[in-house]
A and B are shown apart, each in its own frame.
Chain A
Amino acid sequence: MKTRRNAELGLLGFAMLLVATFGWTVEANQYGTVSATFWVPAVLLSILFLGLHVVVRLTAPYADPVLIPAVALINGIGVAFLRRLDIARAIAQKDPMPGVFAGTGGRQLAWTLASLILAAVLLLVVRDHKIVSRYAYTLGLAGIVLVMIPAVLPGSLSEVNGAKLWIKFGAFSIQPGEFAKLALVSFFAYYLVRKREVLSLASHRVLGLDFPRGRDLGPVLTVWLLSLLVLVFEKDLGTALMYFGLFVVTLYVATERSSWLIIGLLLFFGGVYVAYLLGEAVGGPFANFYDRASIWLDPFAPKYIDNEGYQLVQGLFGLGSGGLFGSGPGAGSPGFIPEVRTDFIFAGLGEEIGLFGLSALLVTYLLIVERGLRAALAVRDSFGKLVAGGLAFTLGLQVFVILGGITGLIPLTGQTTPFLSAGGSSLMANWLLVAMLLRISNAARGPAAGGVGPDRPGPKKAPTQLHGAMTEVIKP
């Protein structure tokens, strides 16, 4: 198979052209004239992505050619839109045009640099994705600790807008859950590669579906309990849905049993419904979830429209006034929407590029997920399959959770929009995810070189004891 690196380079150039066009239109709409430096952010981004492209050429030449340009487009539009918000604020305060590195847009540019360096380091260090499986238990523990830290910390150190998802150090805050999902995917994949036989073979057949034995339900119930604890103590439905969905889908991919999906959906909706009823009757730790669900059911109710439901309603108004083709980049008024830089960036962007533009971005997300699943199908080892499938699915689920929240399909939760919203944790974690997908797709598309590692053993060499694997010693 060809490497297709030149196709990647071409698409990358196209994506950056789009970012430059966005910047040009923003300045034309906001100032009436276009400054001579409108292209600077796009060119800076191009240099950054070109750096990653070179690293990929050197370390993963057969990686999927579509992933980097598609992600770069979304990342670039994010930076350009945040810069557009800075420009609007500068005009309102009668300040001169913000510099390239000023404001949220400039900070996002810096975060992009940091994320790309991390992604490049991952590609350089992890030359073979199977190495990750050796640290599976460490990663699993790290993942659970990362999820639990905000729940244990006092609210003043971890709470933003009612959701306890953060660790704050003064002006600086990180969202450990974003990194936890990467660690948990690796752990789940390793665990299920070892247990898949038992989970997929031993079963009872009820109503034409294969149901697992009671004792095999243990792990899925544990994760379910964990995600409900997250829901109650971190007050965030999105994160809970994320971890649980991730586990159930990895389980489904590993065992090819649709009964797991049914069990998973029933457990999750049952749990959420009980939490809702408890929130209505008891309150306490369930009250926050009850409030969010009530706002979702009727955001325009007089009780909510100017208080808790304000941001959701403004977001809906924004999307509505954007209509089919939007007002044009820079011509809308995203300033009305609270949290437009983070959670509601899709609503603000939707007002300016309309349904037509928003669906193009959604298709781009869909293509990224599809390429991830494609790499999962093609790779030659089960661990790689489960990791790639799990990571790609997580990305898709996260987009679904936040977009469903903004458009009123599901209760709103504080998930970030991958690659788009302002924030370093989310951007870094998701670029690491892309780097892992690049690594796996390189293994999937590359020729079978045989020489996977430097210590490729001959057939006569005694098999080494692999970590955790049941290796049989063969006597000829």
Chain B
Amino acid sequence: MPEFVLTVARFGFLILLWIFVFTVVGVIRRDLFAGARSKSIVASPRGVGGAILQGRPAKAKRGKAARQLVVTAGQLAGTRITLGEAPITIGRAEDSTLIITDDFASARHARLVPRDGQWFVEDLGSTNGTYLDRGKVSGPTPVPLGVPIRIGRTSIELRP
């Protein structure tokens, strides 16, 4: 085997190794950007608009549909759930979609249900109650984008 071929193989292997590493980083980067893009949309004033709309729930459907549920405060802060057709259950019970280990949360605390593209929050008879912004939730209430739902120490929001 000529010396030249061995040298090419030796450096070729190292270069391929690093190309592999960078390809892996590239795949990860696409994941990161998928999260970052939705974050920048949230930073725009649309969240404020949602809060104003809250008084007129019938028109809350205006604007973009909610695609993500984001936990903004509490032990699970930073967690995102991609919304689909299925309802989201929140509570301490092990089979909830979002499991909150919080002394102020009940086992089955609240749930979010989609109806015609609009999400409704419903309290499931929790001990300490569910709050949409500052009002206590008594029946199924439409949830505008960017308005915090508070359960114990945890706060969640719907985002486009």
Contact = CB atoms under 8 A, between A and B. Distances in A.
Contacts of A453: 95
Given A380-B76, A380-B99, A382-B76, A11 B16 contact: no
Given A463-B108, A469-B92, A29 B6 contact: yes
Given A4-B27, A18-B13, A325-B10, A471 B86 contact: no
Interface string B9-25: 11111101110110111
Interface residues of A, number: 73
Contacts of B125: 474-476
* Chain B CB within 10 A, most for which of A329, A380, A453, A471: A380
Interface stretch (A283-291, A356-364, A424-432): A356-364
B101 A28 contact: no
Contact of B82 (A1, A354, A370): A1
Given A1-B34, A382-B99, A474 B124 contact: yes
Contact of B24 (A130, A364, A472): A364
A474 B106 contact: yes
Contact of B9 (A24, A130, A361, A455): A24
A14 B13 CA distance: 12
B25 A21 contact: no
A215 interface: no
A70 B24 contact: yes
Given A453-B95, A463-B108, A447 B14 contact: no
A459 B99 contact: no
B83 interface: yes
B6 A466 contact: no
Contacts of A22: 13
B107 A463 contact: yes
Given A66-B24, A463-B93, A472 B127 contact: yes
B84 interface: yes
Nearest to B17: A360
B130 interface: no
Contacts of A66: 24, 27-28
Contact of B95 (A353, A367, A370, A452): A452
A471 B83 contact: no
Contacts of B16: 17-18, 21
A367 B25 contact: yes
Given A34-B1, A474-B125, A448 B13 contact: no
A308 interface: no
Interface string B84-116: 101111001111011101010011100100000
A35 interface: no
A65 interface: yes
Interface residues of B, number: 54
A357 B20 contact: no
A205 interface: no
B86 A18 contact: no
Nearest to A444: B79
Interface in A370-391: 370-371, 377-383, 385
A450 interface: yes
A318 interface: no
A450 B10 contact: no
A456 interface: yes
B6 to A, nearest CB: 6
Interface in A1-44: 1, 4, 7, 11, 14-15, 17-18, 21-22, 24-25, 28-29, 32-34
B89 A28 contact: no
Given A447-B84, A450-B97, A353 B9 contact: no
Contact of A448 (B11, B69, B76): B69
A65 B95 CA distance: 26
Contacts of B7: 328
A380 B98 contact: yes
A193 interface: yes
B75 interface: yes
B93 A466 contact: yes
A448 B86 contact: yes
A329 B108 CA distance: 59
B61 interface: no
17 contacts: A11-B20, A24-B9, A133-B94, A197-B101, A356-B18, A367-B25, A380-B81, A380-B99, A382-B76, A447-B84, A448-B82, A450-B86, A459-B124, A463-B107, A464-B93, A470-B92, A471-B93
Given A21-B13, A447-B82, A472-B127, 4 more contacts: A73-B20, A356-B18, A382-B101, A383-B99
